[in-house]
Structure 1
Amino acid sequence: MKTEKIYYKNQFQTFCEAVLIEKTENGLIFDKSVAYPEGGGQIGDVGVLIRCKDGFQIPFYNTTKIKGRNLFLSDFPSIKVENQIVHHIESNYEFQKEEKFLIKLDSVKRAQTTLHHSGLHLALMVLEDMFPGIDKKIAGAKITDKYGRLDFSIEFKFSPEQIANIESRCNEYIDKNIPINIFSHPEENEALYWKCDSYIVPCGGTHCENTKDLVGIKIKRKSIGKTSERLIVELPFNEEFFNLYGDSND
């Protein structure tokens, strides 16, 4: 049985009631969840599981996905869909199947991670225009609530002037209030794309809905080897964007 992924329907929903369907060595699996699992460089959500019958609370410190169906499309990267989502807990509690829980996110962490994911795409959008084909040189990615980063296998270092130019051009897009759209591949609902202006890239992470949410973006770089370079995106806390993550279960 797969886990219904509520974050694909409403990424601003911060909690849901769910039924326990399986207990694994690493954590608990429910019939549905608002928690985004680690994947594509983005960290998994954290939060708390509240047992409905007595209010007993258990923190979950990570969210990952297991099982699923392999998806192979000619025009989309190979991924797994229809996964189960594991909510990782530290203690070996005893539970019964079909117990009801409230799954509640750390909404600040989710909101800031969401901003950093879209901010990283925006920076790469500018970078690809400056260095065509550099997306093929990506060697790694990490998106957290504190930063987003991309590692490149390249033979040169980003200069201070280039970094300043990337940041300036990102701010131009931010000032234009350009919509950010997420849409599915016509053959698979869980194969998602990120679109800003005319730039489209496959991505199933969580994202803001407009470049204006990325105000205050900072771009940095770090040398991580003779042929490796790291681009880092940092964003301040955005209260207006965070307020979209209200305590709504609609």
Structure 2
Amino acid sequence: MTELLFRDDPYQQEAPARVLRHTDEGGVVLDRTIFYPTGGGQPGDSGWLSWEGRRLPVATTLRTSDGAVALVPAEPLALPPPGAEVRQLLDWTRRHLHMRVHTALHLLSVVIPLPVTGGQIGAGRGRLDFDMPDPPGDLAEIEARLNTLIDLDLPVTDQWISDEELAANPGLVKTLSVKPPVGQGRVRLVRIGTPTRQVDLQPCGGTHVARTAEIGTVALEKVEKKGRQNRRVTLVLAP
């Protein structure tokens, strides 16, 4: 299994690692990684691997069928061999945009307190789909409430609970289409605020900024009707 360095420190931009193996599709599996694999609506990270004077661009990062993390090359170049010591370098600009958008979407689910039916994170924009039969009302007012929460500069932290604790608190799960992974004994929760001044608490395996003010100003771009009861709300980060 790959040690997930990004889970303990999402701000880590470089790290050494050792190549464990190659996948049948040509991916590189490391013993430890700063690269986040595609999941939960967040794209896989990109960047570079370097070893012995060589450099391999990484297009994206994926989970393998056995739970490891594979870095997918952007070009058909030579791969570092199993056992090789490599240096990982993250495309930090892209990752940080994902972190800002992901955290903003958590807050969007606070100002629109409806069940979430889907979502997608991009580099500078993202969206949530809600079980929302009727239009959400004054979009400018919702946007203002969202930016007010961001401006509070609340801390963003995580904690772990057991599968049994999650089962006993089903209200923690906001998403209808994607359930948090269970079966490994514990589930990661992401909290915005503090235990005594909590704004949001929900299961999530993605990467987030450390404080909400780091998100910056956001704008709600549009609301689209997607089916009989679903509406898609898209937000963008201010330049």
TM-score bracket relative to the smaller structure? 0.7 to 0.9
1:202 and 1:97, CA in 2 relative to 1: closer, same or farther beyond 3 A? same
Contact 2:56 2:77 in 1 (8 A): no
Which letter maps to 2:69? Answer: I
Inter-partner Cα distance in structure 2 for 1:32 and 1:38? 16
- 2: distance between equivalents of 1:6 and 1:64? 15
For the pair 1:207 / 2:208, whether they are aligned, the reply is: yes
User: What residue in structure 2 maps to residue 10 of structure 1?
Assistant: 9
Match of 1:49 in 2: 49
C-alpha spacing 1:106/1:190, structure 2 compared with 1 (3 Å): farther
Task: Answer yes or no: is the 8 Å Cα contact 1:116–1:144 preserved in 2.
Answer: yes
- Return the alpha-carbon distance in structure 1 between the equivalents of residues 80 and 56 of structure 2: 12
Higher mean alpha-carbon deviation, 18-27 vs 92-101, is at: 92-101
Q: Percent identity?
A: 26
CA distance in 2, matches of 1:146, 1:231: 14
CA deviations 1:4-27 (Å, max 9, x no partner) are 111112111101111111111141
1:157 Cα deviation from its structure 2 partner: 2.5
C-alpha deviation, 1:92, in angstroms = 5.4
Instruction: Tell me if structure 2 keeps the 8 A contact 1:42–1:205.
Output: yes
Q: Which AA in structure 2 matches 1:150?
A: L
In structure 2, the residue matched to 1:84 is: 68
Residue in 2 that maps onto 1:152:
130
Instruction: Tell me, in whole angstroms, the C-alpha distance in 2 between the residues paired with 1:153 and 1:186.
Output: 28
Shift of 1:107: 0.4
Measured in 1, the distance between the counterparts of 2:4 and 2:238 equals 28
- Please say if residues 162 and 186 of structure 2, whose CA atoms lie closer than 8 Å, have aligned partners that are also in contact: no
Secondary structure in structure 2 of the residue aligned to 1:101: strand
For the residue of structure 1 that corresponds to 2:136, the secondary structure is: coil
CA distance in 2, matches of 1:190, 1:56: 39
Aligned to 1:65: 63
Contact kept, 8 Å, 1:157 with 1:223, in 2: the verdict is: no
Q: Distance in 2 between matches of 1:207 and 1:218?
A: 19
Aligned to 2:88, the other structure's residue is in SS state strand
Deviates more, 1:210-219 or 1:108-117: 210-219
Give the whole-Å Cα distance in 2 for the aligned partners of 1:174 and 1:95.
42
Q: 2:236 — aligned with what? A: 234
**Structure 2 portions without partners, runs of 5+:** 164-183
Gaps of at least 5 residues in structure 1 are 69-82, 129-133, 238-250
What root-mean-square deviation, in Å, do the aligned CA atoms of Structure 1 and Structure 2 show?
A: 1.9
Residue in structure 1 matched with residue 172 of structure 2 by the alignment = none
